[in-house]
Amino acid sequence: MKSRKWQKSGERGFFVLKWLNFEGNDWMKSRNFRKTALFVLAVFISGCGRRTEPPLTRQADLVVCTDLELPVYEPVVKEFEERTGLTVEVQAGTLEEIRTWFAQEQTERNGDGKPGPDQPAEWDLAFGVNTELLDEYKELWFPCESSEAKMLDSRYVSPDHVWTGFSVLPLVIMYNTNVVTYRELPVGWESLLEPRWQGRVAFADPEQSDVSALALAAAMLGSQSGEAYIEKLAENLNYEVLKSVEQVNEGILDGRYSVGVTTEAAAQTLRSGGADVDYIYPEEGTAMVLGGTAVRAGSSHKEEALAFLDFTVSRDAQKIMAVSRNRRSVRTDTAAEKGMDPMEKLPLPEAGRAELSEAKQQADMLWQQADGREGGA
């Protein structure tokens, strides 16, 4: 986990070294005294070189964990700090690091009460984290309803109020307009299986990317190939995947790949910025990554945490995300940015969240089997 705020450590041993040079009585200048003092100094420094327990105090009013990237969370956090006067420390990590953190928190609740080695001593809420993961660790959260609840789309709020949606990321197929001709334009998930795209499809590892994992589930449910889609796609990828969606975007942008699966927000940002890319929504039905915010049940700063949650879904914060990051709002009164289709026009799947989640697990199993066959070949 990377913290946005760093704590400066003192100059260890400074006063002990000054003590060793102290021009006092003869005993303090003796060899035996200096040997003893040096031993004490060595023990002191070695003990200070690592921390075996978390700090007893914290410097910020709120500690937030997120897997959002800095350009996404920073504008919201800064605006909140300026408006409220509260300070926020952000613990940012990958989705898997966040998952480990939650698992450690669950163990802490059920075990000895001590934080795990990767946890801060105290934290208050999860921000922008995939709501599937928030549901997986539902017992960690404090049920609460945002003061903005009446203006939120009910699809993006947990039925039991353990999390509140922050932003919506539909999946798209992006392509390089300098490489893909009009006649070659992809139309859906099945397009990625065509022989002409073999080795030319950019796809992030579904074991590392929720975008890819969800794309496999949507394709499996919506395409005519069904479960066979997973193996067919793996073959057309030559069993080669990228580490992240960011690498997918870069690979398409520089022409190493012709097409690929990414988020609408990323594709729209590139297109509106003048990049030689465009994108389509899979005709069989796309899917959406929903990030949400949840207040930690064990937080001792719930009032401040609730204020932060309310701000993340305020009209102003949602507008920041729409304008600067092309992210879909969870509010009913905030329209998509210019150049983006209204949500009601997107080809959304008929499957609900539960069915998609189940399909995602099945797709993951099938992907591992396909990967295993290639590994054994």
SS (H, E, C) 91-121: EECCHHHHHHHHHHHHHHHHCCCCCCCCCCC
Look up tokens 């490489």; give the residue.
Answer: 179
Average pLDDT estimate for 248-259: 98
Enumerate the β-bridge partners of residue 129.
292
Two tokens at 218? 């949507």
Predicted pLDDT at 42: 35
Q: How many CB atoms lie within 10 A of CB 64?
A: 27
Q: Decide: 229 and 220 in contact? Cβ < 8 Å.
A: yes
Average pLDDT estimate for 54-66: 76
Q: Decide: 260 and 251 in contact? Cβ < 8 Å.
A: yes
Rounded to an integer, what distance in angstroms lies between the CA atom of residue 78 and that of residue 73?
9
Statement: residue 23 has pLDDT above 90: no
Task: Write out pLDDT tens, residues 120-166.
Answer: 558 999 999 999 999 999 999 999 999 999 999 999 999 999 999 99
**What are the φ/ψ torsions at residue 152 (nearest 5 degrees)?**
-100, 145
Residues 6+ apart with CB under 8 A from 19: 37
Predicted pLDDT at 335: 87
Two tokens at 300? 């001792």
Q: Decide: 146 and 152 in contact? Cβ < 8 Å.
A: yes
Lowest average pLDDT, out of 31-40, 123-132, 238-247, goes to 31-40
Q: Decide: 248 and 261 in contact? Cβ < 8 Å.
A: yes
Q: How far is CA 106 from the centre of its chain?
A: 19
Q: Of 79, 158, 132, 115, which Cα lies nearest the Cα of 316?
A: 79
Fold of 169-288+349-376: D-Maltodextrin-Binding Protein; domain 2 (3.40.190)
Q: What are the respective helix, strand and coil percentages of the chain, to the nearest 5?
A: 45, 15, 40
Residues 6+ apart with CB under 8 A from 180: 186, 258, 259
Average pLDDT estimate for 272-289: 96
Rounded to an integer, what distance in angstroms lies between the CA atom of residue 104 and that of residue 167?
26
Q: Of 164, 215, 140, which Cα lies nearest the Cα of 330?
A: 164
Statement: residue 182 has pLDDT above 70: yes
Predicted pLDDT at 377: 45
Statement: residue 20 has pLDDT above 60: no
Task: Write out pLDDT tens, residues 327-363.
Answer: 999 999 998 888 899 888 999 887 788 888 899 999 9
Beta pairing, strands 259-263 & 164-176:
antiparallel
CATH architecture of 62-168+289-345: 3-Layer(aba) Sandwich (3.40)
Using a pLDDT cut of 90, give the percent of the chain over it: 70
Rounded to an integer, what distance in angstroms lies between the CA atom of residue 132 and that of residue 210?
10
* 161 torsion bin: left (phi>0), alpha (psi -120 to 50), beta (else): left
Query: Which residue type is seen at 139?
Result: E
Predicted pLDDT at 120: 52
Query: Which residue type is seen at 377?
Result: A
Statement: residue 53 has pLDDT above 60: no
Statement: residue 168 has pLDDT above 60: yes
Examine domains 62-168+289-345 and 169-288+349-376 and report if their fold is the same.
yes
The mean of the pLDDT values for the chain is 84
Using pLDDT thresholds of 50, 70 and 90, give the confidence band for residue 373.
low
Statement: residue 68 has pLDDT above 50: yes
Predicted pLDDT at 96: 86
Task: Write out pLDDT tens, residues 303-318.
Answer: 999 999 999 999 999 9
Predicted pLDDT at 6: 31
Predicted pLDDT at 206: 94
Q: How many CB atoms lie within 10 A of CB 236?
A: 19
What are the structural domain ranges in the chain? 62-168+289-345, 169-288+349-376
Q: What beta strand segments (E) does the chain contain?
A: 2-3, 62-66, 88-92, 125-130, 164-176, 201-202, 259-263, 277-280, 288-295
